[in-house]
């Protein structure tokens, strides 16, 4: 069946190295796949510009997907991206914390109005507790808790940075490229 198909479609030689295929779907010489599955579900030669079954336009598609520009992960760049993400998130979290703390302090000194922010409420609560010895203990616990938060923030930032790098390097996008191409081809 495979041999008949290749004869019908005229693909009896590798599109790349011109080696005789003899009905094989992979080139015995260079190992390239000679067929792809079209949108219509039929197997068509990789070199075919138009699907002989449904007429889909394949002329703009990349013929060889295995030979992608960056199949290897650049761990140095990944680490740097993760580090930058962690730093940026840490700075943003620090600024947010400073703002919330200052707001909480201000509202405490003037009127005892409960702020809408939960974090600020916690801040206020800890401040009023701080006048007692239990409050001092609470503060110590809070210090530890805030350290844990710093680590969590760093982790989140590093994760975001890593994802940003992966997306930019095309490592994630490559998986979706087939579907985006499909949409583009249909729109044409
Ligand atoms: Zn070949
Ligand atoms: Zn087709």
Distance 11 CA to ligand 1 centre (A): 12
Residues in contact with 163: Cβ distance below 8 Å, sequence separation at least 6, in sequence order: 172
Domain ranges of the chain: 1-67, 75-174
d(CA 163, CA 156): 11
How far, CA to CA in Å, does 147 sit from each of 39, 108, 141, 143?
53, 25, 10, 6
pTM across the whole model: 0.32
Residues with CB under 5 A from ligand 2 (ion): 38, 40, 51, 53-54, 56
Q: Which ligand is nearest to the CA of 51?
A: 2
d(CA 176, CA 48): 22
Distance 46 CA to ligand 2 centre (A): 12
Ordered per-residue pLDDT tens for the chain, 188 residues: 444 444 445 568 888 898 988 888 889 999 988 888 999 999 888 888 899 999 999 888 765 444 445 557 788 888 888 899 888 888 888 887 777 666 666 656 555 666 677 777 777 766 665 555 666 666 677 777 777 878 888 889 999 988 888 888 776 655 555 555 555 555 44
User: Can you tell me which residue has the tokens 């609560």?
Assistant: 125
Distance 169 CA to ligand 1 centre (A): 29
């Amino acid at each position: 069946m495979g041999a008949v198909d290749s004869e019908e479609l005229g693909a009896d030689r590798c599109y790349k190295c011109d080696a005789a295929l003899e009905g094989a779907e992979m080139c015995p010489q260079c190992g390239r796949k000679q067929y792809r599955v079209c949108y219509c579900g039929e197997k068509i030669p990789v070199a075919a510009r138009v699907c002989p079954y449904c007429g889909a336009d394949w002329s703009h598609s990349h013929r060889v997907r295995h030979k992608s520009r960056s199949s290897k992960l650049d761990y140095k760049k990944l680490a740097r991206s993760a580090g930058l993400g962690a730093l940026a998130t840490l700075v943003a979290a620090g600024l947010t914390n400073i703002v919330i703390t200052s707001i909480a302090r201000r509202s405490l000194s003037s009127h005892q109005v409960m702020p809408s922010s939960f974090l600020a409420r916690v801040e206020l609560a800890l401040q009023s507790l701080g006048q007692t010895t239990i409050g001092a203990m609470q503060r110590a616990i809070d210090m530890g808790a805030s350290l844990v938060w710093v680590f969590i923030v760093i982790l989140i930032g590093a994760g975001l940075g890593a994802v940003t790098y992966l997306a930019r390097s095309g490592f994630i996008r490559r998986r979706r490229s087939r579907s985006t191409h499909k949409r583009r081809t249909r729109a044409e």
